[in-house]
Structure 1
Amino acid sequence: MTDAAAPEIPPASGRTFAWWQLSAYALPGIPLAALLLPLYVTLPTYYAEDLGVGLTAVGAVLLLARLWDVVTDPLIGVLSDRTPGRLGRRKPWMLAGLPLAVLSVWFLFTPRAFVADGLVGWPHLLLWTVLLYTGGTMIMLPYNAWAAEMTDDYHERSRVAAAREVAIVVGTVGAMAGPALLSLERTTIMAGFAWGLTILLPIGVIACVFALPDDARARVAGSSHRFSWSVITGNRPFRKLIVAYFLNGIAYGLPATLFLLYVEHVLQAAAWAWPLLGVYFLCAVAGVPIWLRLSRRFGKHRVWMAAMGMAAATFWIAVLLGPGDIWWFLLVCVLTGLPLGGELALPPSMQADVIDLDTLRSGRRRSGLFFAAWGVATKVPLALAVGIAFPALALAGFDAEAARQSAGALFALAALYALLPCAIKLLSIWLLRGYPIDAAEQERIKRRLADGGPDETRPGDRAPLSQAAGAH
């Protein structure tokens, strides 16, 4: 089933970028990543304890705000696909989301500067969290979708995605470094984040918007929301990719949720937590060039499978460690941090290839809609990880406030932290078997797009293109 309209203009064939252009594209990733740390780590405690809103109210509000993303991600994805204009489809949304995000940061991170103490309750938290998530989605979703449209080169897409993911890791490490190195009150930390984001986010977004091309001539996608989702769910490579990515997200969400508890209670080395996490992320940055080079020789999906395999083969060792095993765990951080670089850079690049296949079949470039689904598949596993880990620990008798834990509770913590993620990664690897879009197949898709798309009724068309997309 194809769209009756003529295909839109595809991305510039074989376009490559200079280092300064990749740097400009990556720049917004630093403040966007830095924004997540206070939202997930500092903000809940700040509102629950310092502002007296309460743990239950804060947890319920943040859950509702996260569910709001499930609504706004597809909506903004579809609208950005349909946005005409001289600036292109993605840039207007990034610029429009910028003031909303910055304003929300100030009201959310420094509420006492705007609202009397007695009025800073859960309605204030809900309103400005929802507005911040909306502004962030208006920036982040078109930002990710734009990367899929900059070039149709199979390997250049990996460079673009890698530049963005390295910037995100740098932003995460930078956001951790300040609170870790400086003993500051939470109020001061939140104000510092507000000032930093107010300066860095506009610089990053504006530099990115004006340094890189956004093909304004591309035809605006006009298919209905319902039809678009049917095309996406009928796309076999997309289904394999996003299910594997979703599961791998849970495999990373579990250790992220339990890391501090593991270091404090299993290793009994709470002071080492931030340095160990820093080593992990720095190794991820160091590993990116290695995985990109390997992907040029062996293909993206095979190298992503190898990266997940390396992580699974080494991370399980953490379940064997105990009090004082810092140096062994440092080795685990290095051996699992290196494959993280490949796991961050390669899946978004593969997503761009899947979008080409949809464009070939439908005649529309719907990158925003695909990356909306990608956004949901990124955010929901983090919530599921918390929903899996904390109830399971409670059932095992783990009590974070207790001075001592039972042997069974500590094993449950170590198993949830290290063993379960490895098992999930192995399942993701198994699901990626037979992934059909490699460099040769993507080149065929690109040539068909340049020729105006395939006539699926014409004898002699090779099967993989139609078979790879699945039946609608």
Structure 2
Amino acid sequence: MSQPVTVPGPGRTPAWRYAIGMFGTSIPINMIKGSMILYYVDILGLDVRAYGAVMVIYAVIDALDNPLLGHLSDRTRTRFGRRRPWLLVGAPMLAACMIAFFSAPASLEGMGLVLWFAVFAILCEAFDSMLNANYGALLPELYPRERDRAVANSLRQGFQLVALVISLAVTPLLTTSVFGTEESTEGFRTTAIVYGAIAVAVIVFMALSARERPRYSTSERPRLLASIWSIVRNPMFWTVGLTGACYGIAMALVLSGIQLYVRYSLGLPVGDALYLQGVVILVSAAGLAVWTRVVARRGALWTWRLAFAVLAISFAVLFLATDLVTAIAAGVLVGAGWSGMLATNDLIVARVLDADATRNGEHREGLFLSAFGFFSRLNGIVTGLALTSLGVFFGYNSGADPGADPGLAFRVYLCVYPFVLTAIGAVAARFVSVPIETPPEAGEPASPPPPGPGGEPVAPPPGSGGEPVAPQTGDSGSEGPR
């Protein structure tokens, strides 16, 4: 009598070793996003209107290439897995493009400077998307159960915050004091080289340890157009994606503008951004353990809604800050809200991915996450438009032409715009429903059933894992303690 054909599952990937990959993926892109305005607009003199136009163009391009990159990852079949080859190739490419991004020749000006900025901004974002689509797709695959997933996610967000301390809080000191000066660009290039080397080493270390599940890549390769059509017809793709974008865009504004907020709104040296950023990040890191416990007791959806509200309130408080001390006090609240979003937002997205795999019988996390990345691409458009608006409303066009009140301009950029966005997100989150936790076996292809007495396969009972199980959705009532 023949036996069922089974594919052995992988060994368990240590959560800390997967999580440390977030440290490597975060350092390059956060230096880029956190310093690009200071480097190109305030020091090199790029006009904010040109900056805004480039950000809109690259956001559109990035929105188009993201689904393709995710789809190619889903279709990849190698002895090293689906995700690891992309991680091993993307890491050095991102590092090289970041170094070039912060190595603009001193002779460049006008259209030459615009083209240099545009080309390397687009390349950096494309390779960052390649890395994050594949790294993010590993989370639901390596940790099918939400409790394990929540722990791994909290650890990786903790590593991200450590990276933020380095790439955001320490970067101003390295670029303007250790490796360069406030008015020069040499420090940016040297810092980019150091960060690039660290990022490549960490990502390679993580990728070599990720034990992908063979079952996830034994089914028929998903087709691009059919998969995209299925995703865009999924209502949860739009509700979760647009609501999460309110948080993502708000934090993109904060990360890109905090150094100039310190310079103009608080009237302090750029290096003092270290203290404000450091407090926000440390509070966020400390809060991850607390928010993870709340997730375990109340569920991801209820906790996500609470974190949204806390973050919105924090920006209103930050607007009232007048010096470094009051800004740091407000930053404690910002860190608390941000920590809650870090602990929950990816869990909400992972619920949607689980439901898609259960419903369609295909694991296409790369494409789905890249499709969700379409909403994060709005970050570039909105931050570009927000910066351009400072020229329209306040006369801030560049460091050489800051207008009459750059302090108010960056107070609006860093506090008012993020408050409006997160307030909208907090309200919208109240109306979002996501599937309840899907059993790990429900989303995996079933082993062929044993033959019956006459040699014919015996059909599995409904809901046994041999056929897709329709996901259920829940609100705060279904997200109660487990």
**TM-score, with normalisation over the residues of structure 1?**
0.80
Q: CA separation of 1:424/1:125 partners in 2, compared to 1, >3 Å: closer, same or farther?
A: closer
What is the aligned length?
Answer: 442
Give the corresponding residue for 1:152: 144
Q: For residues 19-58 of structure 1, what are the structure 2 equivalents within 5 Å?
A: 21-43=14-36, 46=39
Give the corresponding residue for 2:333: 335
Q: Give distance in 1, aligned partners of 2:413 and 2:44.
A: 33
Supply the AA of the counterpart residue of 2:200: P
Which residue of 81, 90, 95 maps to 2:88? 95
CA contact (8 A) 2:59 2:380 kept: no
Give 3-state SS (helix, strand or coil) of 1:442's partner: coil
Q: Give distance in 2, aligned partners of 1:128 and 1:160.
A: 32
Cα displacement (A) at 1:72: 1.8
Q: For residues 56-455 of structure 1, what are the structure 2 equivalents within 5 Å?
A: 60-61=53-54, 63-110=56-103, 123=115, 125-176=117-168, 177-180=170-173, 182-183=177-178, 184-185=180-181, 186-218=184-216, 219-220=218-219, 222-270=221-269, 272-322=272-322, 324=323, 326-388=324-386, 390-391=388-389, 394-395=392-393, 401=401, 405=405, 410=408, 414=411, 417-433=414-430, 435-437=432-434, 441-443=436-438, 446=440, 448-449=442-443, 452=446
Cα displacement (A) at 1:372: 0.3
Supply the AA of the counterpart residue of 2:437: Q
Supply the AA of the counterpart residue of 2:224: H
Q: CA separation of 1:375/1:223 partners in 2, compared to 1, >3 Å: closer, same or farther?
A: same
Q: CA separation of 1:361/1:395 partners in 2, compared to 1, >3 Å: closer, same or farther?
A: same
CA contact (8 A) 2:395 2:404 kept: no
Q: Per-residue displacement from partner, 1:58-93 (whole Å, max 9, x unpaired)? A: 665555444332122110101101111211111111
Worse overlay, 264-273 or 192-201 = 264-273
Q: Give distance in 2, aligned partners of 1:53 and 1:382.
A: 17
Supply the AA of the counterpart residue of 2:141: E
Q: Give distance in 2, aligned partners of 1:415 and 1:63.
A: 21
Q: Give distance in 2, aligned partners of 1:212 and 1:346.
A: 23
- Structure 1 residue runs of 5 or longer lacking an equivalent are 1-7
Q: Give distance in 1, aligned partners of 2:155 and 2:360.
A: 30
Q: CA separation of 1:98/1:386 partners in 2, compared to 1, >3 Å: closer, same or farther?
A: closer
Supply the AA of the counterpart residue of 2:283: C
Q: Per-residue displacement from partner, 1:140-184 (whole Å, max 9, x unpaired)? A: 211111112112101221222222222222112112314325351
Supply the AA of the counterpart residue of 1:293: R
Q: Give distance in 2, aligned partners of 1:403 and 1:54.
A: 13
Q: Give distance in 2, aligned partners of 1:42 and 1:93.
A: 27
Q: Give distance in 1, aligned partners of 2:417 and 2:44.
A: 36
Supply the AA of the counterpart residue of 1:202: V
Give the corresponding residue for 1:3: none
Identity over aligned residues, as a percent?
A: 22
Structure with the bigger percentage of helix: 1
Cα displacement (A) at 1:137: 2.6
Q: CA separation of 1:249/1:363 partners in 2, compared to 1, >3 Å: closer, same or farther?
A: same
Worse overlay, 135-144 or 298-307 = 135-144
Q: CA separation of 1:454/1:134 partners in 2, compared to 1, >3 Å: closer, same or farther?
A: farther
Worse overlay, 385-394 or 372-381 = 385-394
CA contact (8 A) 2:318 2:415 kept: yes
Cα displacement (A) at 1:295: 0.3
Q: Per-residue displacement from partner, 1:397-429 (whole Å, max 9, x unpaired)? A: 6677468539xx83x754554344334323222
Q: Give distance in 2, aligned partners of 1:42 and 1:95.
A: 26
Cα displacement (A) at 1:343: 0.6
Cα displacement (A) at 1:240: 2.3
Cα displacement (A) at 1:267: 3.5
Q: CA separation of 1:190/1:454 partners in 2, compared to 1, >3 Å: closer, same or farther?
A: farther
- Structure 2 residue runs of 5 or longer lacking an equivalent are 1-5, 447-459, 476-482
Supply the AA of the counterpart residue of 2:393: L
Q: Give distance in 1, aligned partners of 2:265 and 2:54.
A: 31
Q: Per-residue displacement from partner, 1:113-155 (whole Å, max 9, x unpaired)? A: xx99899755555444444433333222111111121121012
Q: Per-residue displacement from partner, 1:272-300 (whole Å, max 9, x unpaired)? A: 43311221111111111110111000001
CA contact (8 A) 1:61 1:126 kept: yes
Q: CA separation of 1:454/1:339 partners in 2, compared to 1, >3 Å: closer, same or farther?
A: farther
Give the corresponding residue for 2:479: none
Supply the AA of the counterpart residue of 1:150: L
Q: Per-residue displacement from partner, 1:247-293 (whole Å, max 9, x unpaired)? A: 22233334444434544444434464331122111111111111011
Q: Give distance in 2, aligned partners of 1:249 and 1:434.
A: 19
CA contact (8 A) 2:361 2:445 kept: no
Q: Give distance in 1, aligned partners of 2:264 and 2:293.
A: 39
Give the corresponding residue for 2:457: none
Worse overlay, 275-284 or 118-127 = 118-127
Give the corresponding residue for 1:5: none
Give the corresponding residue for 2:456: none
Worse overlay, 47-56 or 58-67 = 47-56
Q: Give distance in 2, aligned partners of 1:96 and 1:375.
A: 20
Q: Give distance in 2, aligned partners of 1:94 and 1:275.
A: 33
Q: Give distance in 2, aligned partners of 1:252 and 1:307.
A: 14
